[in-house]
Structure 1
Amino acid sequence: MRRRLRREVLWNGNVEPPLRTFFTNREHIVRWAFSTRNKYGVLISQLQDERPDLLIVRLRTPREVQAWLSGPLANNPSD
Structure 2
Amino acid sequence: MLSAADTLDPRPSRVAIAGAPGAGKTTLARTLAPLLGAEAVELDGIAHGPDWTIRPGFVEEVSAVIRGDRWITEWQYDEARPLIASRADTLVWLDLPRWLVIGRLVRRTVASRRGHEVLWAGNVEPPLWTVLVEPNHMIRWSWRSIGLVREQVRAAEREYPALRVVRLRSRSDVDAFVSRIRESAG
Q: TM-score, normalised by structure 2?
A: 0.32
Gaps of 5+ in 2: 1-105, 119-123
1:67 matches 2:173: no
Greater RCO, 1 or 2 (C-alpha within 8 Å, sep 6+): 2
Q: C-alpha distance in 1, partners of 2:140/2:125?
A: 15
Cα shift readout 1:16-46 (whole Å, capped 9, x = no counterpart): 6433201222321111112222111111111
Of the three residues 31, 47, 71, the one matched with 2:140 is 31
Runs of 4+ in 1 over 3 A off after TM superposition: 1-4, 15-19
Quick check: which one's strand share is greater? 2
Among candidates 154, 159, 166, match of residue 50 of structure 1: 159
List runs of 5+ in structure 1 lacking aligned partners. Answer: none
Residue 21 (structure 1) aligns with: 130
TM norm structure 1: 0.66
Q: How many Å separate the matches in 2 of 1:54 and 1:16?
A: 35
**Quick one: structure 1 residues 43 and 16, their matched pair in 2 at CA, closer, same or farther if it must change by over 3 Å?**
closer
Task: State the aligned residue count.
Answer: 73
**What CA distance in whole angstroms lies between the structure 2 residues aligned with 1:31 and 1:62?**
22
Aligned residues: CA RMSD = 3.2
State the distance in 1 between where 2:116 and 2:175 align. Answer: 25
Larger radius of gyration: 1
Aligned partner letter, 2:136: E
Amino acid paired to 1:70: S
